Amino acid sequence: MLENFIPKVLTTYQRILWNMEHVKVVIFDCDGVMFDSRRANEAYYNDILTHFGRPRMTSEQCDYVHMHTAEQSVAHLFRDDPRLEQALAYRQQIDYLPFIPMMQMEPYLKAFLEYLQFGHKTAISTNRSDTMDRVLVDHGLKGYFDLVVSSLDVKRPKPDPESLIKILDHFGLSPREAIYIGDSEIDELAATAAGIPLVAYKNPVLSAAHHVTHFKEIEDLLEKN
């Protein structure tokens, strides 16, 4: 839960604009960055709610499930419902496959990934769980990432920095040799705690080293150094 997570003090790398020539790995969040997946996620969780005779999600609930793991999201939606365990079990039985086509890939993503193949490692840090691999396959992105860390690969998902630190350790890199492209408060908290500069994607309210609305802007930043 966000309210229970206390990030480390903001690092020097996030207080000032860092030299992009040091960047060796570009780390992506999935939902809200690689894909506009709000419609798919809303349909998925509303399907669970409908199965149990519950009303559709509120705006606040939609925001919550967009950032958190599936287990956390169901627990949040059913936190006052005695059928919570049943809902968690039912979630495990649902195939996310019908909802994947509702996810819209962000403009220029594939071209940006192709650009990064020449000189940069690529990774994903996401709170998605067992759906991440199928999302990459169905959208033709399976071979574009050197490492994918989902919530199943860590003990503590975002906003804890464990997934980002795991990526740094995998490549043997320091925080200043990475950037993390995220769109939410939990991404900001995770990046801050890991000491990795955040590039805020389509969210001007986040505290970040850079704010962008398009992947071409990040490519241009890398090209300038």
Q: Are strands 178-182 and 198-201 parallel, antiparallel or unpaired?
A: parallel
211 φ/ψ angles, rounded to the nearest 5 degrees = -120, 130
Which amino acid is present at 88? L
pLDDT for position 225: 62
Give the residue from 67, 84, 101 where a domain finishes: 101
Does residue 160 sit in the same domain as residue 84? no
Final residue belonging to a domain, choices 85, 101, 117: 101
Give how many domains the chain has, as a whole number.
2
- Check whether residue 136 and residue 212 sit in a common domain: yes
Q: Which are the contacts of 51, defined by CB distance < 8 A and separation ≥ 6?
A: 90
Tokens of 209: 């080293």
Establish whether the linkage from the previous residue to 159 is cis, with ω within 30° of 0: yes
Burial class (CB in 10 A: 0-12, 13-18, 19+), 108: middle
Q: In a 3-state reduction of DSSP, which class is residue 207?
A: coil
Asked if residue 18 and residue 73 are part of one domain, the reply reads no
Query: Helices 38-51 and 70-77: crossing angle, nearest 10°?
Result: 50
| Sequential pLDDT tens for the chain (225 residues) | 444 444 444 444 444 445 687 899 999 999 999 999 999 999 999 999 999 999 999 999 999 998 899 999 999 999 999 999 999 999 999 888 999 999 999 999 999 999 999 999 999 999 998 899 999 999 999 999 999 999 999 999 999 999 999 999 999 999 999 999 999 999 999 999 999 999 999 999 999 999 999 999 999 999 876
Question: Are residue 86 and residue 173 in the same domain, yes or no?
Answer: no
**Whole domain around residue 212: which residue ranges?**
2-36+103-223
Q: Do residue 123 and residue 141 come from a single domain? A: yes
If we measure between CA atoms, which residue out of 133, 128, 112, 132 comes closest to residue 179?
A: 112
Instruction: Work out whether strand 198-201 and strand 147-149 pair parallel, antiparallel, or are unpaired.
Output: unpaired
Same domain, 107 and 155: yes
Distance of alpha carbon 42 from alpha carbon 180, whole angstroms: 25
Residue 4: burial class (beta carbons within 10 Å; 0-12, 13-18, 19+)? exposed
Shared domain for 73 and 181, answered yes or no, is no
Contact of 214 with 108, CB cutoff 8 Å: yes
- What are the tokens at 127? 């709170």
d(C-alpha 83, C-alpha 78), whole Å:
7
**Residue 224, both tokens:** 């300038």
Our measurement of the distance from residue 177's CA atom to the centroid of its chain's CA atoms, rounded to an integer in Å, reads: 19
Same domain flag for 26 and 43: no
Which amino acid makes up residue 97? Answer: L
Domain co-membership, 42 together with 132: no
Q: Alpha carbon 101 to chain centroid distance?
A: 18
The residue whose two tokens read 């080293």 is: 209
Q: Residue 224's pLDDT is what?
A: 77
